[in-house]
Amino acid sequence: MTAINVHTGDNGSNGNHLDYLHSPKKYKGIFNWIFSTDHKKIGILYLISMLTFFAVGVVFGFLMRLELISPGKTIMEPQTYNQIFTLHGVIMIFLFIIPGLPAVFGNFFLPIMIGAKDVAFPRLNLLSWWLFVIGGFVALISLFLPGGPADTGWTFYIPYSVRTSTNVIPALIGAFILGFSSILTGLNFITTIHRLRAPGMSWFKMPLFAWSLYATGWVQILATPIVGITLLLVAIERWFGVGIFDPALGGDPIVYQHLFWIYSHPAVYIMILPAMGVISEIIPVYARRTIFGYKFIAYSSMAIALFGSLVWAHHMFTVGMSNTAMWLFSLLTFLVAIPSAIKVFNWVATLYKGSIVLEPAMLFALAFIFNFTIGGFTGLMQGALALNIHIHDTSFIVAHFHYVMFGGTGFGIFGALHHWFPKMFGRMYNKKVAKIAWVFLFIGFQLLYFPLFIAGYLGMPRRYYDYLPEFHIWHFISTVGSWILITGLIIMFTNLIIALRKGEKAVANPWGGVTLEWTIPSPPIHENFEKIPVVEKDPYDYTHYEELEEVKN
């Protein structure tokens, strides 16, 4: 990144201010980054650390799939397998998907999109990155301790998590610290949105990504403390032998499960809501159309945050609950599908009669809609009480949440990366290679996870090390899919890394976006705007788009 110099002209800069990568420095070298309170630099820090953890998680996922390519032992012992799927879950959830969009792109773009110079609490923002890194290392340190990493699954279910001899405590404490980091990010964003919107930027002139971050922030603040205290209680139980959840000491393991899911289901919406926000940003830009149903999309984010917090027990239909609780939670689960469907319909309606340009980011957005629809519908299947008993704890569930989390949020993250990469780094990647990578990712993804629906429906349990020969074919296809998917990941990231060094210089508005981030130079200057903008238009106003095109040409 050192190759980037002062830009003039076509990138939108007038040369009066240096971009954020080159503005005057307080510290030297790496300290200029890790002690920077600039929201853009913190966003990049999050991006680098998150992708590093993602790479580790992918390796674990790859090893798991390789083990499952044929029945019996293939490359590892059952105990190793248990530890690897636990680590895969902990890393992907707490270190990749939860911070993926809010902490990376939210940090970088939220202040720019609402016309602010920075977030409300820049130092707190830096602290939350530090907590993220510390939490990540604490969670992973068990890899190198005697006894090895936890083998409980990422859910840490009692009583096994107080009995196993593996290192559960580092994973618990790591997750606790990461939760704290996530809370601080949410708190920061909510305050930023309340206090720092530019003049004229009313609530309903905010870009939808900002709306989704606002909804996410509330979930982060109101749900995360529950899992914090729950994981802390398990750690205290292991440390001091306090009887709270362990049935041998009078505790109730089902109370643990409730507390765990009171957070961890809303956490699913912490993961998916910002991705929905990103899709709402991408689609109008590449369809050259004002988004359909702006207010509905904004309100549905809040509705998802609200209803999503009330459906946790649908993870526990087979555990033992009263019938009243069962149908109530089932009903609420169906209700939460409504705001999600509203969004999907609005996106599709935006595409209708649009001038669609299939740039890489748009391809990822379309893949999001496809995958999310499959993931969403299979979620409804699980919300039905009778069917839930049949597919509970099978690989059907694994396929479902990978369709939503990876096929949805994961593709959303890749889409955001391709959409905003030129703005963040001032360089353009090779679009053709990016599209090839997308083809690999899309096909590999379907091959990897769709067979798991079938195997699960036929009775393949999740988290199993070994299986009956009749499931072989589905596991085989799935493992081959994982190779294609990883090839796609390698192509995509190689392409982006090459672009960092050798990519063409990006113009200020390469895609024809109309939100505020496209009005400033690529990469942005230190405090984003030379003069705080005054907002008069709606966020996706494409009515004068033809004139804009002429100016560009």
Partner 1 sequence: MNQTVDAAVHEHVHRDDVGAKIGMWLFLFTELILFGGMFLVYAVYRFTYRDFFALASKELDVFIGLINTLVLLTSSLTMAMSITALRRGSKNLSLTFIFLTIFFALLFLVNKYFEWSAKFHHGLFPGSNELLTLPRGEIVYFGLYYVMTGLHALHVIIGLIILVFMFFYVKSGKVNQDYYIMLENSGLYWHLVDIIWIFLFPLFYLIH
Site for partner 1 in 84-103 (CB under 8 A): none
Helix axes 360-383 and 395-404, enclosed angle (nearest 10): 140
CB of 389 to partner 1, least distance (A): 25
Of 495, 497, 518, 496, the closest CA to residue 508 belongs to 518
CA distance 107 to 94: 17
| Helix, strand or coil, per DSSP, at residue 278 | helix
Q: Which C-beta is closer to partner 1: that of 226 or that of 491? A: 226
Q: Which stretch binds partner 1 (CB under 8 A): 198-206, 235-243, 338-346, 420-428?
A: 235-243
Mention every residue, 6+ apart, whose C-beta is less than 8 A from residue 328: none
The candidate with the shortest Cα–Cα distance to 515, out of 107, 209, 105, is 209
61/228 with CB nearer partner 1? 228
On whether the CB atoms of residues 289 and 542 are closer than 8 A, the answer is yes
Is residue 233 a contact point for partner 1 (CB under 8 A)?
yes
Task: Return the CA Rg of the chain.
Answer: 23
Question: Buried (b) or exposed (e) across 502-516, using 16+ Cβ within 10 A?
Answer: ebeebbbbbbbbbbb
Which of residues 8, 9, 25, 504 is near partner 1 by CB under 8 A?
A: 25
* Tokens 């279910």, residue located: 157
Q: How far is the CB of 184 from partner 1 (least distance, A)?
A: 9
Residue 118 binds partner 1 (CB under 8 A)? yes
Which of 259, 332, 417, 491 binds partner 1 (CB under 8 A)? It is: 259
**C-alpha to C-alpha distance for 425 and 20, rounded to whole angstroms:** 10
Tokens matching residue 528:
């984003």
Q: Which two structure tokens, joined as six digits, stand for 296?
A: 């509905």
The runs of H, that is alpha helices, within 309-410 are 323-351, 360-383, 385-391, 395-404
Q: Which is nearer to partner 1, 86 or 125 (CB)?
A: 125
Least Å distance, CB 153 to partner 1, is: 21
Q: In Å, how far are 16, 269, 308, 337 from 102, measured between CA atoms?
A: 31, 12, 18, 22
Q: Which stretch binds partner 1 (CB under 8 A): 254-262, 267-275, 462-470, 535-543?
A: 254-262
Q: Taking CB under 8 A as the rule, does residue 538 contact partner 1?
A: no
Question: From the CB of 507, what's the least distance to partner 1, in Å?
Answer: 25
Q: How far is the CB of 530 from partner 1 (least distance, A)?
A: 12
**Of 19-27, 321-329, 345-353, 440-448, which segment contacts partner 1 by CB under 8 A?**
19-27
* Least Å from the CB of residue 194 to partner 1: 6
Structure tokens at 257: 């499960």
Among 59, 66, 124, 385, binds partner 1 (CB under 8 A): 124
Task: Tell whether residue 533 is a contact of partner 1 (CB under 8 A).
Answer: no
Contact pick of 125, 142, 181, 224 for partner 1 (by CB under 8 A): 224
Least Å distance, CB 168 to partner 1, is 18
Pick the binder of partner 1 from 48, 79, 137, 252 (CB under 8 A).
252
Q: In 3-state terms, what secondary structure has residue 317?
A: coil
CA 11 to each of CA 149, 428, 508, 518, 523: distance values in angstroms, whole numbers, following the listed order: 48, 11, 4, 10, 8
221 forms part of the interface with partner 1 (CB under 8 A)? yes
The footprint of partner 1 on residues 39-58 (CB under 8 A) is none
- From the list 247-255, 272-280, 295-303, 365-373, the region that binds partner 1 by CB under 8 A is 247-255
Q: Answer yes or no whether residue 23 interacts with partner 1 by CB under 8 A.
A: yes
d(CA 265, CA 268): 5
249 lies in the binding site for partner 1 (CB under 8 A): yes
329 close to 311: Cβ distance less than 8 angstroms? yes
Residue of the chain from 113, 139, 234, 262 that contacts partner 1 (CB under 8 A): 262
The least distance separating partner 1 from the CB of residue 526, rounded to whole angstroms, comes to 5
Residues 6+ apart with CB under 8 A from 259: 226, 227, 229, 230
Alpha helices in 144-291, H assignment, sequence order: 160-163, 168-195, 208-240, 253-287
Residues 193-212 that bind partner 1 (CB under 8 A): 194-196
> Is there a contact between 525 and 13 (Cβ–Cβ < 8 Å)?
yes
The distance of closest approach from Cβ of residue 162 to partner 1 in the complex, given in angstroms and rounded to an integer, is 13
Q: How many residues bind partner 1 (CB under 8 A)?
A: 44
Examine residue 527 and tell whether it contacts partner 1 (CB under 8 A).
yes
The answer to whether 250 contacts partner 1 (rule: CB under 8 A) is yes
Query: Which residue shows structure tokens 């949805």?
Result: 408
Return the residue of 2, 28, 240, 547 that touches partner 1, per CB under 8 A.
240
Q: Which of 188, 333, 409, 482 binds partner 1 (CB under 8 A)?
A: 188
Out of 73, 200, 243, 439, the only residue in the binding site for partner 1 (CB under 8 A) is 243
Considering the rule CB under 8 A, would residue 187 count as an interface residue with partner 1? Answer: yes
- Which stretch, 140-148, 187-195, 306-314, 365-373, contacts partner 1 (CB under 8 A)? 187-195
Q: What is the distance of C-alpha 185 from the center of its chain?
A: 14
For residue 14, count other CB atoms closer than 10 A to its CB. Answer: 11
In angstroms, rounded to a whole number, what is the distance separating the alpha carbons of residues 67 and 71?
9
Taking CB under 8 A as the rule, does residue 82 contact partner 1? no
Among 228, 488, 503, 521, contact with partner 1 (rule: CB under 8 A):
228
Among 2, 3, 16, 24, binds partner 1 (CB under 8 A): 24
Q: Is 222 in the site for partner 1 (CB under 8 A)?
A: yes
CA atoms in the 13 A half-sphere facing the CB of 442: 19
CB of 53 closer than 8 Å to CB of 136: yes
Instruction: Check residue 526 for interaction with partner 1 (CB under 8 A).
Output: yes
Residues in contact with partner 1 by the rule CB under 8 A: 23-26, 37, 117-118, 120-121, 124, 183, 186-188, 190-191, 194-196, 221-226, 228-230, 233, 236, 240-244, 249-252, 255, 259, 262, 526-527
